[in-house]
């Protein structure tokens, strides 16, 4: 899962603009933003550079419960 769509919205940037900068089709960028397909790591770093964010800002933070699960 990634946060590309959220970061684009926060910055007021359109998917079409990002697609042009990446040299990818709109459909490919849309599949990234809808989490139907995940970009390769190299592409993720390129997206981060274009959007002027840290690559980790494009990744969904997964919250792990610190409370151990109870076993039955």
**10: which 2 tokens?**
């926060």
pLDDT of 71 above 70: no
Q: What is the DSSP letter of 36?
A: S
DSSP single-letter state for residue 12: T
Those residues with Cβ within 8 angstroms of residue 70's Cβ, 6 or more apart along the chain or in another chain: none
Inform me whether the pLDDT recorded for 69 exceeds 50: yes
Query: What is the value of pTM for the model shown?
Result: 0.80
The pLDDT assigned to 63 comes to 47
Phi, psi of 35 (to 5 degrees): 60, 30
The full set of domains in the chain, from first to last, is 4-57 (1.10.260.40)
Query: How do residues 16-49 score in pLDDT, each as one tens digit?
Result: 999 999 999 999 999 999 999 999 999 999 999 9
């Amino acid at each position: 899962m990634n946060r590309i769509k959220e970061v684009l919205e926060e910055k007021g940037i359109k998917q079409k603009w990002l697609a042009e900068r990446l040299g990818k089709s709109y459909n490919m960028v849309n599949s990234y933003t809808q989490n139907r397909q995940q970009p390769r790591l190299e592409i993720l770093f390129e997206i981060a550079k274009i959007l002027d964010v840290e690559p980790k800002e494009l990744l969904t933070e997964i919250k792990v419960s610190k409370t151990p699960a109870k076993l039955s």
